[in-house]
């Protein structure tokens, strides 16, 4: 049954994603709209794509807290796997900062480029400056940016230390930082959402076969007025890590 579900979903997901690719091409081709307006449209359609993805993968998102974050916020969260993108994207119209490897994923890569995802190779110092500058530009336009400061996905058992460098974008733009804790409720250890020590195709196949996935998106109060990127990273990490630990010790 799992493989039948995977085949069916693959077909439907491919058709839906091609539709969003055409929308992306149309937005990118509309030379009569301003750059700011184009970014607003792309953020809106990215949210539509993420919500559609949640439906197609049968991912049920429960939000805890206020998802009406300030415009131009830097949204930071713990990172477990691809469903993080769908869940967060469904909640917030925003741009993602994503690892450069996504450029090699079928369909996802084309959508990412059309959606103007900010690609990151954090091990290259000169590129970190470019990433920060791109983030600042989006934030100053009033577009929110979603970042996974751990720098990689984990098995979900803990939250790794946050890399503070990209928090500089929030400092420069004077933006609020909104910490988010993601918790999956599927009873598996690690969760089926986890992308850890496996290939992209193994990860996606497991998601395609999985009948249902539930995730809580816990929105913490925005951190505003802080001008030190390290303190921003530490404050965000502390609230996310504490909530993650507390939620994962609750009885099932």
Ordered by where they begin, the domains of the chain are 2-248 (3.40.1130)
| 78 token code pair | 């713990």
Mean pLDDT of residues grouped by 10 in the chain (252 residues)?
90 94 93 92 96 97 95 96 95 89 70 87 73 95 96 91 96 97 91 85 91 97 96 98 90 60
pTM of the full structure: 0.94
8 Å CB contact between 121 and 100: yes
Give the position of tokens 């009885």: 251
Q: DSSP per residue over 179-242, as a string?
A: EEEEEE-SS-SS-TT---SS-HHHHHHHHHH-S-EEEEEEEPPPB-S---HHHHHHHHHHHHHH
pLDDT of residue 161: 97
Task: Give CA–CA dist 2/25, Å, rounded.
Answer: 34
8 Å CB contact between 180 and 220: yes
């Amino acid at each position: 049954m799992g493989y039948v579900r995977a085949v069916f979903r693959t077909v439907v997901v491919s058709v839906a994603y091609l539709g969003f690719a055409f929308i992306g091409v149309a937005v990118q081709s509309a030379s009569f709209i301003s750059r700011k307006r184009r970014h607003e449209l792309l953020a809106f359609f990215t949210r539509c794509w993420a919500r559609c993805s949640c439906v197609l993968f049968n991912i049920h998102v429960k939000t805890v807290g206020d998802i009406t974050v300030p415009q131009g916020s830097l949204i930071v969260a713990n990172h477990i796997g691809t469903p993080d993108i769908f869940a967060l994207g469904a909640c917030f119209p925003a741009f993602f900062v994503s690892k450069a490897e996504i450029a090699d994923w079928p369909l996802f890569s084309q959508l990412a480029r059309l959606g103007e995802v900010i690609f990151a190779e954090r091990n290259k110092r000169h590129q970190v400056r470019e990433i920060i500058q791109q983030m600042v530009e989006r934030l100053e336009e009033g577009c929110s940016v979603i970042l996974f400061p751990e720098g990689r996905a984990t098995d979900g058992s803990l939250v790794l230390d946050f890399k503070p460098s990209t928090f500089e974008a929030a400092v420069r733009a004077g933006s609020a930082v909104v910490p988010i804790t993601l918790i999956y409720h599927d009873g598996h250890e690690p969760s089926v959402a986890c992308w850890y020590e496996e290939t992209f195709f193994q990860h996606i196949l497991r998601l395609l076969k999985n009948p249902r996935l539930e995730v809580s998106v816990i929105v913490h109060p925005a951190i505003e007025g802080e001008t030190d990127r390290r303190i921003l990273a530490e404050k965000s990490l502390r609230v996310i890590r504490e909530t993650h630990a507390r939620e994962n010790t609750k009885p099932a």
